[in-house]
Amino acid sequence: MKLSLRRLFDAVASIVLASLMLVGPAQAQDAPGMRIAVRGEITGISGDVLRVHANNGEVASIELTPQTQVRAVSLANIEDIKPGSYIGSAAVPMADGTLKALEVHVFPPQMVGTGEGHRPFDLVKGSSMTNGSVGDLVVSNGRTLTVNYKGGQQKILVPDDVPIVNLAPADRSLLKAGVKVVMFVTQGADGKLTAQSISAGKDGVTPPM
């Protein structure tokens, strides 16, 4: 069953989510299960239902399932990134084709391969997400990462003020009122939102993704 973009927007208007995570604009009309990014703060949890106060001021009720992946987000620094590290970075393009990072997250060894590739992202207008393995890290003239993934490579400049965080597998014990989260959810035909993955800040950290 095909959904128009207008119908999709109407379906989520009640919670006015911060933005849409589009797999690709050409697929929007044929993607009833497309992912939506929700960024905000947990206000409560009851059983398998999580309530989140989104960054735009609205509130969403989101279902958890046994398949929902929970990841802890903790502070890191550039020294935690080495050749061979598997990272992700939301970034925007510069005039010379190099990407300028908006954030960098470092995956643990057991999460190598997660979301590998380069694709559009919704953090800001024109941003992308690159997940891959670090080939080179140059810190003498700025901080530039070479990130390799299947089928391509990107050079990413990491300014000094860009947040860098570690991701680690976690469980629902991290999901408490006051915790900042970035969630990717899908919407069923009945309008119910179901969490596919949750990146939750640890020790007061706000996930920058």
Q: What is the pLDDT of residues 159-168, one digit of tens each?
A: 999 999 999 9
Q: Quote the pLDDT of residue 208.
A: 96
Q: Quote the pLDDT of residue 177.
A: 97
Q: Which 8-state DSSP code applies to residue 161? A: T
* pLDDT tier at 140, thresholds 50, 70, 90: low
Task: Calculate the average pLDDT of the chain.
Answer: 85
Domain boundaries, the chain: 5-71+168-201, 73-166
Cβ–Cβ < 8 Å for 126, 79: no
Cβ–Cβ < 8 Å for 104, 164: yes
Q: Which of 51-65, 73-87, 138-152, 168-182 has the lowest mean pLDDT?
A: 138-152
Q: What is the pLDDT of residues 10-53, one digit of tens each?
A: 333 333 333 333 333 223 333 456 788 999 999 999 999 999 99
Q: CA 89 from chain center: how many Å?
A: 9
Torsion angles phi and psi, residue 175, rounded to 5 = -85, 100
Cβ–Cβ < 8 Å for 197, 71: yes
In this predicted structure, the answer to whether residue 148 has a pLDDT above a threshold of 50 is yes
Q: What's the CATH architecture for 5-71+168-201?
A: Beta Barrel (2.40)
Give the helix/strand (H/E) hosting 114: none
Q: Which of 60-69, 121-130, 187-196 has the lowest mean pLDDT?
A: 187-196
Q: Quote the pLDDT of residue 51.
A: 97
Q: Quote the pLDDT of residue 136.
A: 81
Q: What is the pLDDT of residues 75-119, one digit of tens each?
A: 999 989 999 999 999 999 999 889 999 999 999 999 999 999 999
* pLDDT tier at 58, thresholds 50, 70, 90: confident
